[in-house]
Amino acid sequence: MTRILCISLSPIRRDARVLRQISVLRELGDVVTVGYDEQPDGVIEHIRVPDDRLSLPQTPGGVLNLGLRRFSAVELAAPGVSYALEQLRGREFDLVVANDARVLGLAFEVAGDAPVWADMHEWAPEERTHVLSWRLLVAPFMVHLCRKYLPRAAAVTTVGGEIAELYQRDFGVTPQVMRNAAPFADLNPSEMVAGRIRLVHSGGAVHGRNLEAMIDAVKELDDRFSLDLYLVPAADGGKYLGSLKERAGGDPRVVFHEPVAPSMLPATLNAYDVGVFWIPPVHTNARLTLPNKLFDYVQGRLALAIGPTIEMERVVREHELGVISAGFDVQSCIESLRALTPDDIMRFKRASDASAEELSFEHEGAAALAMLRTVLSAS
């Protein structure tokens, strides 16, 4: 049986992209995972990295080496990486999967002669460039890892065509696009409720995603509109989520729910009318994002309301899924919603229904499976 190692220094049970990735890997062999939190379903073994073992070299020595640009000295020095390496010493695998640039050094250290699939979820050099310490210390390290290891990878994937072009431009590799599409859900568009337009948003309660604009827009719109939020608290202990609840000010039309598991999300979203997401281009990954939630909204058979974000706009226009605001400010968001009629929304919902199979993970997964079979046959 083919032995596959999947490394993702994330809480894998809540990481929708990695869970979908595992579903592909399981068709090829036995899967061992390395990551935070509990064991994901369907794998034969999970090496759980303690939560306090961070995924970057955020130790005094590590920070010093980052500052001095001694990048080779810190490739395996992050506490989470070094812990994983100790657990994996002496193990052999037929395929190693590296999720994100930060584990590329670990993946190649463990792989030996086995091929490595590097899944670059986003544009690694600018993952958190809105944070000064990241920009000064970590971004150059990410560039080092990508420059050193991506040309050695047997396969490279990323989330969209625009980001794939950046990897080709800067690192000379040609990634295969593997979009963050959700598995196909066998649902029908829900009917409208007379006199109501039910907006919904799901995702992380993270700064920079313009969640404030969603709340402010609904408070200014007429009483037809409501907003339900399914938000995963950030690593700040829920502080930012708390600030959003304060901003809503007890408005009964803005309702906060507990997050739901990725597998349950389409059925939950199906009860609503319009999935909203207006993320401003605060950095490259935001400017070029093609996120899980767009595909979740399609599987939920929703109309979509988005901002003029390059990759998202391309999909929404191609499939006629919804409305695109002129900008990312509150008034632009309001104007894109205010003119919506029930007939418009039902037309967009039906377009989501018609596009659900094409925009499902089954298409992305089949392409990934074919790629990996080629990689394994060549190794």
pLDDT digits (tens, 9 = 90+) for 133-185: 888 999 999 999 999 999 999 999 999 999 999 999 999 999 999 999 999 99
Q: Is a pLDDT exceeding 90 seen at residue 29?
A: yes
Q: What is the pLDDT of residue 173?
A: 98
Place of tokens 């939020």: 229
CA-CA distance, 260 to 262, in Å (whole number)? 6
Mean pLDDT of 25-37: 97
Domain 3-181+360-378 CATH class label: alpha beta
Chain centroid, CA 193 distance in Å: 32
**Residue ranges of domains in the chain:** 3-181+360-378, 197-355
Q: Is a pLDDT exceeding 80 seen at residue 130?
A: no
Q: What is the dihedral of CA 81, 86, 92, 98, to 10 degrees?
A: -10
Q: What is the pLDDT of residue 128?
A: 81
pLDDT digits (tens, 9 = 90+) for 208-221: 899 999 999 999 99
pLDDT digits (tens, 9 = 90+) for 314-343: 999 999 999 999 999 999 999 999 989 999
Q: What is the pLDDT of residue 132?
A: 83
Would you state the CATH architecture of domain 197-355?
3-Layer(aba) Sandwich (3.40)
Q: What is the pLDDT of residue 154?
A: 98
Task: Return the closest-CA partner of residue 285 out of 166, 116, 377.
Answer: 166
pLDDT digits (tens, 9 = 90+) for 340-369: 999 999 999 999 999 999 999 998 999 999
Q: What is the pLDDT of residue 134?
A: 84
Which of residues 276 and 250 earns the better pLDDT score?
Answer: 276
Query: Where are the strands (E) in the chain, listed by range?
Result: 3-11, 30-36, 45-48, 95-99, 116-120, 155-158, 176-177, 197-205, 225-233, 254-257, 274-277, 303-306, 322-324
Task: Return the closest-CA partner of residue 20 out of 373, 361, 377.
Answer: 361
Domain 3-181+360-378 and domain 197-355, same fold? Reply is yes
Task: Return the closest-CA partner of residue 295 out of 322, 266, 268.
Answer: 266
Let me know the angle formed at the C-alpha of 125 by 124 and 129, rounded to the nearest 5 degrees. Answer: 110
Strand duo 322-324 + 274-277: pairing = unpaired
Which of residues 236 and 247 earns the better pLDDT score?
Answer: 247
Q: Are 365 and 145 in contact (CB under 8 A)?
A: no
CA-CA distance, 197 to 253, in Å (whole number)? 11
E strand or H helix at 127, and its extent?
Answer: none
Q: Is the pTM of this model over 0.85?
A: yes
Cα dihedral sign, 170-369-35-281: positive
pLDDT digits (tens, 9 = 90+) for 268-323: 999 999 999 999 998 899 999 999 999 999 999 999 999 999 999 999 999 999 99
Q: Average pLDDT over the chain, rounded to whole?
A: 95
Cα atoms found within 13 Å of the Cα of residue 44, Cβ hemisphere only = 11
Mean pLDDT of 86-96: 97
Percent of the chain whose predicted confidence (pLDDT) is above 70: 100
